[in-house]
Amino acid sequence: MARKTKAKSSKSRPIYVLNGPNLNLLGMREPEVYGRTTLAEIRALVTERAKAGGYAVTFRQTNHEGELVDWLQEAREKAAGVILNAGGYSHTSVAILDAARALAQPLIEVHLSNPYSRERYRRHSFVSEAADGVICGLGARGYSAAMDALIAMLKDAAP
């Protein structure tokens, strides 16, 4: 589902990178699945990538579904685009899907692991139904790929 960015210059708006439950434990929790890179290291990586592309980053993590919904709603007015790793909520949250569908900005979904090679219940993502792109299975590099892709999408959509 392609989205059109608002007419206001997207470069004046940050890219939101939103992270869901348990991602604060990256590097410690199941490193054989999620890798050893910490969320702080991912934040530094995407901030550098965004800066090189001319964007600032608003980077957040929460373990609470409603807070992710609030941030997605905030992004409608304040973000150039969104990178979302909703964690386990990807597979369960219609509320996050609805908030993601309300975005006019591009949305890229990120998963550190490959959900298709894991448990059956992980193979469906509600977020994917609203995302312009999905990157999975690349570990922390998936965030870099998402940032590069999102910046390219914003550039392509610029007037």
Angstrom distance (rounded) from CA 15 to CA 82? 6
Which residue in 16, 55, 89, 111 is the catalytic one? 111
Catalytic-labelled residue, pool 16, 34, 89, 143: 34
* Separation CA 159–CA 155 (nearest Å): 9
Q: Is-catalytic flag, 89?
A: no
Q: Is 111 a catalytic residue?
A: yes
Cα–Cα distances (Å) from 37 to 27, 89, 112, 126, in that order, read 5, 21, 10, 26
C-alpha to C-alpha distance for 139 and 97, rounded to whole angstroms: 23
Secondary structure letter of residue 56 according to DSSP:
-
- The whole-angstrom separation of Cα 101 and Cα 122 is 21
Q: Which residues are catalytic?
A: 34, 111
